[in-house]
Amino acid sequence: MTIFPTVTVAGAINQALRSAMEAHPKMLLMGEDIGRLGGVFRVTDQLQRDFGEDRVLDTPLAESGIVGTAIGLALRGYRPVVEIQFDGFVFPAFDQIVTQLAKLHARSMGKIRLPIVIRIPYGGGIGAVEHHSESPEAYFAHTAGLKVVTPANAADAYWMLRQAIDCDDPVVFLEPKRRYHEKTRLDTGVAPGPLHRARVVRPGGDVTLACYGPMVQTCLDVAEAAAAEHRSVEVVDLRSLSPLDLDTLVESMNRTGRMVIAHEAPVYFGPGAEIAARVTERCFYRVEAPVLRVGGYHTPYPPSRLENDYLPGFNRVLDAVDRVLAY
C-alpha cells in the first residue's frame, strides 16, 4: 500500500506553484514580498531562488498595477499567477478584475484569452487587524467571466491550483488562510476530480450541510457531534462557487430533504442566498424545511478580539442543524 506524504495547505500550494512553473515556461508569479521573503505566509518560499527574479517578481505595493500588468503579460502570451497579500487588499485591484479581466474574452468575441490566476488568502480566524480578514467571494462569483474556487485541504489546494493555472480563463483562487497549517495526505500523481465539481466529504441522510473553504472542517466537526446524538449529517464541500456544481447539491437535497449552508461571508446577499434559491427551485417537492444559512453578520468585520463572536463557529452551525431538523 502506497503511503503518501502529509503536507500543509501552504506547502501544497507551494508544490503546485513549483510544478506548474516547471510545466509552463511562460508562467510567472507576481506579488508583494513573494520573492526574497517567500510571502507573508511563506507560501512562495524558495521559488525565487529556484526560478529567478524574472519569473518570481516582487512588485510595488500597488494591487491595481499588479493585476493590470498581469493582464498585459497575458495578452503577450504569458501565464501570470498573482498573489494578493491579504483579502482586504484586493479592492484597489477590483476595477481591473471586474472591468478588464472578466470582460476581455467576451469583449473580443472570444479572440482573447487571459490565463491569469489571482490567489487571495481570505477569511478570518487568525487574529489579524482591519482589512486582513475579509471574505469577498460574493463580489467575484457575481461577476460573469470569472471562475471562483476555494480548496478546503492540502490535496485540493494542490490539484485545484494546478487545474486553475492550466485553465485559459481567469480564476480567482481563494485560500483559507486559517487552514494554511493544517495537514492532509497528498497524492501528486492522481487528480481527485474536475476543478468545478463539488464533493460529498461525509455521507448522511437527515440534513445536508453545504460549505466551502475554511468552514469545511468546522462542518465536519458539527457532523461528528450530531452523529453522537443519532443525527446523520451529510457534508458537501462546494469547492467551486462559479461555476456552481448545482447537480451535486440537488442530489444531496433529494436524499436528505433539509439543508443548512455555512460560510464566513455575510449572510446578507451572500453566496448562501443564491444556493438556497437554486436548490429550492430544483427540489421544491422534496424540501421538508426552509433552507437555513449561517454566516457572518451584516456589519464590517470586527476587531480581532470580537471575531469569534462574528464568525459562524461550531455552536452556530450545530444550532442551525438542530433548528432545521425540528421542522
Residue 107's contacts (CB-CB under 8 Å, 6 or more residues apart) are none
Please identify which of the residues 132, 181, 230, 263 carries the catalytic annotation. 132
- Measured CA angle at 100 (ends 79, 96), to 5 deg: 85
For residues 291-314, one letter each, b for 16 or more C-beta atoms within 10 angstroms of the residue's C-beta and e for the rest, the string is: bbbbbbeeeebbebeebeebbbbe
Preceding peptide of 243 cis, ω within 30°: yes
Specify the pairing of strand 233-237 against strand 199-202: antiparallel
Catalytic residue check, 24: no
- Measured CA angle at 16 (ends 12, 131), to 5 deg: 70
Mark out the alpha helices in the chain (DSSP H runs): 9-23, 47-51, 63-75, 94-95, 104-107, 137-141, 154-166, 215-227, 246-256, 271-282, 307-310, 314-325
CA-wise closest residue to 312 among 214, 238, 184, 244: 214
In the block, residue with C-alpha cell 472578466: 102
Which three cell numbers, joined as nine digits, stand for 22? Answer: 516547471
Q: Write the DSSP string, 225-268.
A: HHHTTT--EEEEE--EEETT-HHHHHHHHHHHS-EEEEEEEEST
Catalytic positions, written as ranges: 132
